[in-house]
Amino acid sequence: MAKKRDYIEEIISKKSRIHKSKRWNLVISHLRTMRECIKILEIVGGEADYLEEKHNLFTVRQIDYLDSFFPIKCVACVEGYFRLVYAHLIDFGNPFRNNAKHFSEIKFSIETVLSLDMGDVSVGDFISHLLPINRFESVNSVMSTLIGGNFKDKLKVLFLNKPHMIPFFGTKEDIFNDIIKIISEMFKLRHVYCHELGSPNKVITTPNGFVESTTKFLHLTELVVEELTEKTIGN
């Protein structure tokens, strides 16, 4: 018989590996580090001829193999960040807490209720731990339920209203759609890289493209969450 999962222990264990800091500070530190790693890889790749000739590093051009790391880590940033956002909104109170009732597939046992009452794990932590974050559509669905409106549309309105340089090609809406497309593709690539021996048929952007799109996506989300919670407090 398979061992029953201890969700409370999983959550406590996961929280113990996170530094006590604001969620945006946690995620942006990873994204900044990835940017620096990309610079290092670009420098090494640019010196391939020298390294091969002077140091007999004939496999240096295979450094592109490390490109697969970036969509994997970017998805980890998205997942970790949204787990914190889900928990924050539910624990914040209504209307988000009331909207969480729509996640009817999540059930609480007596044991779970008692564990939550001890204060080790909040209701938001528990529900967040069980909500899906395996593709962009699942993130959009959960966030739309919590905020009581289409999450993607709120991101889009905020993005279009922000001041931007006039794009050389296309429109601001095209840029937003590209961000969402890259985030969606990132989840698919993560699955291939982590669970398959094969390689993806096509990668639509560069490591830097994944990092920049993840940064923009999460920053827009942070602004939307701040706006919604501040508006709730104001009411």
In degrees, rounded to 5, the angle at the alpha carbon of residue 179 between the alpha carbons of residues 173 and 183 is 145
Is 162 a domain residue? yes
Beta strands in 40-135 (DSSP E): none
2 within some domain: no
Side-chain-side CA neighbours of 156 within 13 Å: the count stands at 13
The residue-averaged pLDDT of 15-43 equals 91
Domain that holds residue 202: 7-234
Higher pLDDT, 115 or 18: 18
What integer pLDDT is reported at residue 183 of this predicted model? 97
108 located within any domain: yes
Q: How far is residue 131 from each of residues 39, 115, 125, 155, 199, measured CA to CA in Å? A: 35, 19, 10, 21, 29
> pLDDT averaged over the chain?
87
Instruction: State residue 198 phi and psi, 5-degree precision.
Output: -80, 175
Q: In whole angstroms, how far apart are CA 217 and each of 43, 117, 121, 213?
A: 27, 34, 28, 6
For 61-79, the pLDDT digits (tens) are: 678 888 999 999 999 999 9
Confidence of residue 60 (pLDDT cuts 50, 70, 90): low
Name the nearest CA neighbour of 36 among 190, 182, 208: 208
Percent of all residues in the chain with a pLDDT value above 90, rounded to a whole number = 57
Question: What is the CB-side half-sphere exposure of residue 167 using CA atoms within 13 A?
Answer: 10
pLDDT band at 4 (very low <50, low <70, confident <90, very high): confident
Task: Summarize pLDDT for 201-231 with one digit per residue, the tens.
Answer: 889 899 999 999 999 999 999 999 999 998 7
- Give the model confidence (pLDDT) of 142-188 as tens digits: 999 999 999 999 999 999 988 766 666 778 899 999 999 999 999 99
- Residue 159 · residue 224 · CB < 8 Å: no
- Amino acid at residue number 76: A
In a domain, 121, yes or no: yes
The residue among 164, 168, 144, 142 whose CA lies nearest residue 154 is: 144
Q: Are 189 and 71 in contact (CB under 8 A)?
A: yes
Most distant pair of Cα atoms in the chain: their distance: 68
- With respect to residue 169, please indicate whether it lies within any of the assigned structural domains: yes
Average pLDDT over residues 187-198: 93
Confirm whether 52 is domain-assigned. Answer: yes
Residue 116 in any domain: the answer is yes
Structurally, how many domains does the chain consist of? 1
**Does the residue 1 lie in any domain?**
no
Average the pLDDT over 192-201 and give the result: 91
